[in-house]
Structure 1
Amino acid sequence: MMIISGANAGGKTVVLKTAGLLSLMAISGLPVPASKAKVPFYASVLADIGDNQSLSANLSTFSSHISNIASMMKNLHTPALVLLDEVGTGTDPEEGSALGVAVVDHFRKNDAQVIASTHYKGLKIYAANDEDVINASVEFDEKTLEPTYKLLTGMAGASSGLEIARRFGIRDEIVETARKNLDSAAREAEDYLHKLQSETKQAEDLRIALEEEREATAEKYARLDIKFRKKEKARRKEFESELGSVIADFEQRSKAFIKTVEDKKERKRLEKQLAANKAELKRQAFEVEGKRNEKPDGALQDEITVEDRPIEVGSDVLLKSFGTTGKVEKISGKNVDVMVGSMRMRQKIDDLQVVSVQKDKGRKSLEKLQKKAAKSNIDDELKGVQSELNLIGKTTMDAETEVDQFLDDSYVSSLKTVRIIHGFGTGALKNFVHKSLKGHPHVSSFGFAPQNEGGQGATIVELKS
């Protein structure tokens, strides 16, 4: 149910007629001129609008309204839409107000949807005291003394009868005399409604201004974030390039030195030490770099995956123009309100892409940085590191290089346990693998795999932290 009040000639009757005509169009199968509409399939649309007084039928304004309403009560078939224009008018205001409340309440209790216009305080109070009844008003501009033809929901409106009378040519002294004749309670109530409407309009204007300012701030924040990310990406690329050069130079110098060592056993030991030092150098470099980039308060890194599904309230979305993510709060047609951090932004729906954001479960700093190192483009050999090495069919010479490289990559990638498959055969490959593992700088311990993982045909290696 909706009770509409407000200024004369403000559009109350137009609201009723529009609701009735659009409902009849919808249930008749005609297109409704609205971007979106939901209309029940009414069994009856009943209206008491206008003045049907008649001398021949001996009907006054009041009696014509009452006769029509009585007929509507008899012909009510739910679901129904009931439209009442200035219900209870044409008689003593107090009796008319009480009758108006009783009439609309009757239709409401009989499950009809009711829209009624009124100037009576009784109906305004009835709507204000019942949360299931919508109080609405037509807006009136106090400065121009003209209606704006806007329907405001959630508040009753002042009738502004004296101001309307002034606008239509009633002399000022007559209007002022009428104002003095108003009792103080009625005058205070009228003034209060005027003040409430004025403050509501000011609050709405302020809300719009704040919304525009917030959107501008959010856009500025997002652009600064994009600028920072670009700079950080460039700096990171420069760091990786410099680190690659340093490691390459270290490796080149070390190999040149090792070649000068004549003792074969000593040379082998130095080569292993070089591989271990190279891996340790990478690990420490990324640890220092990672600590530099680490967010305060242990902030977590998110993994983002694009998903092909419709945008809904609560969806995680990627803002394409800003390159950042947020959560959908509200969808209004083609506009979407998105919370990005603590900022709310309004974006076109075409500029958004649904994504899934997986939160890091709280790995410690070093583990996160070692994971970054494993994914870095410094060394392509670090990509796609497996926790298993298959040496079956390899010679001991081939196995030597592969085992060292495998252990280096596994250590840098923070793998705790790896498996080396050497098979049974003659045992030469197995013996060579075990010999290589003894004293290796990355190896904590090793032993044959359980029967369900290869038994003595494979070795499980525990790596140092």
Structure 2
Amino acid sequence: MDQHALDVLNFSEIKKDLRSYITSKLTENLIENLEPSIEIDYIKERQKEVTQAKKILIRENTPPISGVKDIRPSLEKAEKSMIIDGEELLDITTTLEVGHDISSYFSNLEDEDDNYKKLMKIAAKIGNFRPLTKEIRKAIDNQGEVKSSASSKLRRIRRKIQNAKDSIRDKLNSIIHSSSMQKYIQEAVVTIRDGRYVIPVKVEHQGEINGLVHDQSSSGQTVFIEPNSVVKINNKLKQLEAEEEQEIQRILQELTFLVQAETDDIKITLKLLTALDFIIAKARYSLNIDGSEPLLNEEQKTKLFKARHPLLTGDVVPIDVELGDEFDTLVITGPNTGGKTVTLKTIGLLTLMAQAGLHIPALSGSEVGIYHQIYGDIGDEQSIKQNLSTFSSHMNQIIKIIEEADDTALVLLDELGAGTDPTEGAALGMAILDYLHTRNVKTVITTHYSQLKTYAYNNSGVENASVEFDVETLKPTYNLQMGLPGRSNAFQIANRLGLKDEIISSAEDFLDQEDIEIDDIIKEIEEDKKEYQSKKEEATEDYQQAKEMREEYEEKLKKLEERKNRELKEAYREADKIIKRAKDRAENIISDLKEKQRLSDREIQEARSGLREERKDIKSERNQLTAENQQEQEIPDLEEGDQVKIKNVNKNGKVVSLNQDKEEAVVQSGIMKVTVDLKELEKVEKEESSTPKGKVNISRVKQQKAKNISSKLDLRGMRAVDAKDKLLKYLDDVMLSNLNQVEIVHGKGTGVLREVVDETLDNYPSIKNYRLGKPKEGGSGVTIAKLEA
């Protein structure tokens, strides 16, 4: 990738930010070598790794990755059979134990949907070095020192050393505390010089103590003497310490051989741990910048939704921008400090990040093309050393770009043609733009020249865009408007600042008529666009209200149908009970009569015949009841245009059309059209509604909504943008109801919808708290939110 583009687009700053998320210095090498790739499969693999790590950070406990040391020098010593010291062995053990922990962590994760598959595959390759770490821990303490328990010989030697030290101290303490010797002693302490125990004696009395002088104080007032009575024990102590060091070296040598035997496997594990640390660091960075995994293509098509420059802080205005589909060249115009250069850098930097396997700060669903080269000529790059003007410096870079760029490249040019005579600069800018455009090079430029706006209008495959400027506040809004060039607001700004009208009028006379017409056309387009946007929002709101009313109607219709069926079944059951009671009663009467009055068989048959007739009458009544229930109302005789009332929902409307068998009608009720069974309609002479024709009674809608709003919202299968809009609308509706808790179903999936839900709930003012569902509630596929009363 072109180094100049990496520099001007501040890719090194992204790597600097990324360093703050790693836990091991080893990982710094991976960040240092991080470069954009052009291999789409490789990039997709890296992107998916970050996505999976991000899900783990959101859903699970933090992976225990910290504690990995740079043990490569120690491993090299082991390979050469050079003894590794205790601190180095401790670092090796600590690192391998991190491997054990991270391996155990991933093996215990529940991953039925393979959400963590790639990271679990990496962790599964980490070696098991528990026998080695156990041996090292047995011999080395937490300070990197060899334990006495490392061998029985070392334990014995150290015991003898301690006894010798105690014996020396006892003898020396008896000397310095002796009443006869105190006048010679400078200070009643036992100290060490040259590894031997000595006592401090006043220099003028050194001849009174039989022994060896080992040192003298800096003041010359004290000498440090080893009395002859402890020389032999001190000699023994030195011998024991030499034996101790020899045994320590033997133990370290054995441990070194153990490490040496597994050096190759340890190196593999070290690489795996570093790779996991790098992936998890990228995931932490993605969470910090509110990033997402971009879609990738090899056709150099870019579509960014709500994209933000990752190095900007504060309230950053996001942009929607595209390139490479309907047009290959984008011309961005607008005021100074209005965000043109930031837009240019955002496009370039997010592309570099995506191709480097990093998530980008844009909405899910954003798409980035894979470019083989990215070139940039951005900002004031005047070279003082080369004694070049700003124009010359820019031109040198543009010449290089023209010579190298092809149809797989992305070219970003800031203020094309600036730095020289405006007329010549504009002409040169158009020629450069035309050269790149005819060679299908994906190009984005910023400019102030009206001629380049015109070029974009007059050439297919070239599109205008502008950074909006608020003339009322005299400030840029930083909103990027695709398809619309920026207007020159000089006259309006001057007028707002108080410049006399006559001067502004005179200035307008100096303009070409063509420039005036173009500016007027742009102004009209801006006004039309604002009006269109307003009407679009109004239409969207009307559509949403109509959709809600239709759903409300269908829900009520469904409930009425269910109620009708329940009542019908109840009527059947009641009729059956009547028949059974009548039958039982008749049988009992016949039995009693037969028993008491000795009726003849003929009389009994006559009684039973009468019973059968009574049963028929009861069944006939039941059938009549069923028929009445099925045909509750007479079907009205309707024609198109008739005014009707929809009885089930108590709303008025007009018949738009009737189906062929005239069993159903399409009824226009307000802004909503619904298909209704004719039995549910009643003809009326005039519209019985206080609501003006064609308008929706918003108050009634809200009242109905408050009664019928569901406590559950299902977002599964939706795109992030649509899901967020639907969730916000749902929360607004919930606020009209009496619900204090709602259930939002987002599924487990890739975790994108869950992120959208979390972000929306974090920013919604009436949310008291929220949590993931319990296992019986749907687990991590559901979020339960509580609303403030």
* 1:352 to 1:57, Cα distance in 2 relative to 1, 3 A: closer
Q: CA deviation at 1:60?
A: 4.1
Q: Kindly indicate whether residue 335 of structure 2 is the aligned counterpart of residue 7 of structure 1.
A: yes
CA distance in 2 between counterparts of 1:124 and 1:276 reads: 90
State the one-letter code of the partner of 2:630: G
Partner of 1:289: 629
The two structures have a TM-score, normalised by structure 2, of: 0.35
Partner of residue 146 from structure 1, selected from 451, 468, 475: 475
CA distance in 1 between counterparts of 2:725 and 2:384 reads: 59
Q: Which runs of 5+ in 2 are unaligned?
A: 1-328, 591-598, 636-661, 666-674, 678-707, 735-741, 748-789
CA distance in 1 between counterparts of 2:423 and 2:334 reads: 18
Q: CA deviation at 1:83?
A: 0.4
State the one-letter code of the partner of 2:472: K
CA distance in 1 between counterparts of 2:573 and 2:351 reads: 73
Q: CA deviation at 1:52?
A: 3.6
CA distance in 2 between counterparts of 1:47 and 1:175 reads: 38
Q: Kindly indicate whether residue 421 of structure 2 is the aligned counterpart of residue 32 of structure 1.
A: no
Partner of 2:777: none
The 10-residue stretch of structure 1 (164-173 or 43-52) with the greater mean CA deviation from structure 2:
164-173
* 8 Å contact from structure 2 (residues 363, 720) kept in 1: no
Q: Kindly indicate whether residue 518 of structure 2 is the aligned counterpart of residue 189 of structure 1.
A: yes
Choose 1 or 2 for highest CA Rg: 2
* Equivalent position SS for 2:367: coil
State the one-letter code of the partner of 1:121: S
* 8 Å contact from structure 1 (residues 251, 274) kept in 2: no
* 8 Å contact from structure 2 (residues 713, 743) kept in 1: no
Partner of 2:346: 18
Partner of 2:374: 45
Partner of 1:72: 401
State the one-letter code of the partner of 2:664: D
CA distance in 1 between counterparts of 2:629 and 2:553 reads: 23
* 8 Å contact from structure 1 (residues 3, 127) kept in 2: yes
* 8 Å contact from structure 2 (residues 571, 625) kept in 1: no
* 1:151 to 1:266, Cα distance in 2 relative to 1, 3 A: farther
Partner of 1:334: 723
In proportion to residue count, which structure has more strand?
1
Partner of 1:136: 465
The two structures have a TM-score, normalised by structure 1, of: 0.55
Partner of residue 321 from structure 1, selected from 704, 710, 714: 710
State the one-letter code of the partner of 1:197: E
Partner of 1:200: 529
Q: CA deviation at 1:267?
A: 8.0
Partner of 1:104: 433
Partner of 2:316: none
* Equivalent position SS for 1:332: helix
State the one-letter code of the partner of 1:20: G
Partner of 1:126: 455
Q: CA deviation at 1:282?
A: 5.6
State the one-letter code of the partner of 1:140: F
CA distance in 1 between counterparts of 2:503 and 2:444 reads: 34
Q: CA deviation at 1:70?
A: 1.0
* 8 Å contact from structure 1 (residues 49, 85) kept in 2: yes
* 8 Å contact from structure 1 (residues 97, 120) kept in 2: yes
CA distance in 1 between counterparts of 2:372 and 2:578 reads: 88
Q: CA deviation at 1:2?
A: 1.8
CA distance in 2 between counterparts of 1:65 and 1:80 reads: 19
CA distance in 2 between counterparts of 1:43 and 1:115 reads: 16
* 1:292 to 1:67, Cα distance in 2 relative to 1, 3 A: farther
Partner of 1:358: none
CA distance in 1 between counterparts of 2:525 and 2:743 reads: 36
CA distance in 2 between counterparts of 1:125 and 1:283 reads: 81
CA RMSD between the two structures: 4.8
The 10-residue stretch of structure 1 (245-254 or 256-265) with the greater mean CA deviation from structure 2:
256-265
* 1:223 to 1:129, Cα distance in 2 relative to 1, 3 A: same
State the one-letter code of the partner of 1:19: I
Q: CA deviation at 1:129?
A: 4.3
* 8 Å contact from structure 1 (residues 128, 135) kept in 2: yes
* 1:52 to 1:247, Cα distance in 2 relative to 1, 3 A: same
* Equivalent position SS for 1:39: strand
CA distance in 2 between counterparts of 1:183 and 1:64 reads: 32
CA distance in 2 between counterparts of 1:244 and 1:271 reads: 20
* Equivalent position SS for 1:148: strand
Partner of 2:216: none
Partner of 2:578: 249
* Equivalent position SS for 1:198: helix
Q: CA deviation at 1:243?
A: 4.4
Deviation per CA, 1:19-41: give whole Å up to 9, x if none: 12222222233332223343333
CA distance in 2 between counterparts of 1:238 and 1:66 reads: 86
Deviation per CA, 1:300-351: give whole Å up to 9, x if none: 99xxxxxxxxxxxxxxxxx9939999xx99872524779xxxxxx9999946
Deviation per CA, 1:250-305: give whole Å up to 9, x if none: 5644676688696588788888888887777666644543344899428799xxxx
* 1:125 to 1:186, Cα distance in 2 relative to 1, 3 A: closer
CA distance in 1 between counterparts of 2:339 and 2:713 reads: 46
Aligned length: 330
* 8 Å contact from structure 2 (residues 586, 611) kept in 1: no
Aligned 1:19-418 pairs, distance under 5 A = 19-36=347-364, 37-53=366-382, 57=386, 59-76=388-405, 79-91=408-420, 93-130=422-459, 132-163=461-492, 177-216=506-545, 218-223=547-552, 225-227=554-556, 229-250=558-579, 252-253=581-582, 285-292=625-632, 296-297=663-664, 321=710, 332-335=721-724, 350=744
Q: Which runs of 5+ in 1 are unaligned?
A: 302-318, 339-344, 354-465
* 8 Å contact from structure 1 (residues 136, 157) kept in 2: yes
CA distance in 1 between counterparts of 2:743 and 2:489 reads: 43
Q: CA deviation at 1:150?
A: 0.4
CA distance in 1 between counterparts of 2:373 and 2:332 reads: 21
* Equivalent position SS for 1:249: helix
Residue identity over aligned pairs, in percent, reads 32
State the one-letter code of the partner of 2:378: I
State the one-letter code of the partner of 1:4: I
* Equivalent position SS for 2:469: strand
* Equivalent position SS for 1:35: coil
* 8 Å contact from structure 2 (residues 470, 476) kept in 1: yes
* 8 Å contact from structure 1 (residues 4, 116) kept in 2: yes
* 8 Å contact from structure 1 (residues 44, 80) kept in 2: yes
Q: CA deviation at 1:197?
A: 1.6
* 1:9 to 1:194, Cα distance in 2 relative to 1, 3 A: farther
CA distance in 1 between counterparts of 2:476 and 2:336 reads: 8
CA distance in 2 between counterparts of 1:323 and 1:178 reads: 63
* Equivalent position SS for 1:205: helix
Deviation per CA, 1:163-209: give whole Å up to 9, x if none: 45678998887655433422333123213312322332243234334
* Equivalent position SS for 2:487: coil
CA distance in 1 between counterparts of 2:726 and 2:623 reads: 43
* 8 Å contact from structure 2 (residues 713, 745) kept in 1: no
* 1:331 to 1:187, Cα distance in 2 relative to 1, 3 A: same
Partner of 1:364: none
Partner of 1:401: none
* 8 Å contact from structure 1 (residues 89, 96) kept in 2: yes
Q: CA deviation at 1:46?
A: 0.6
State the one-letter code of the partner of 1:28: A
The 10-residue stretch of structure 1 (291-300 or 135-144) with the greater mean CA deviation from structure 2:
291-300
* Equivalent position SS for 1:143: coil
Q: CA deviation at 1:14?
A: 1.1
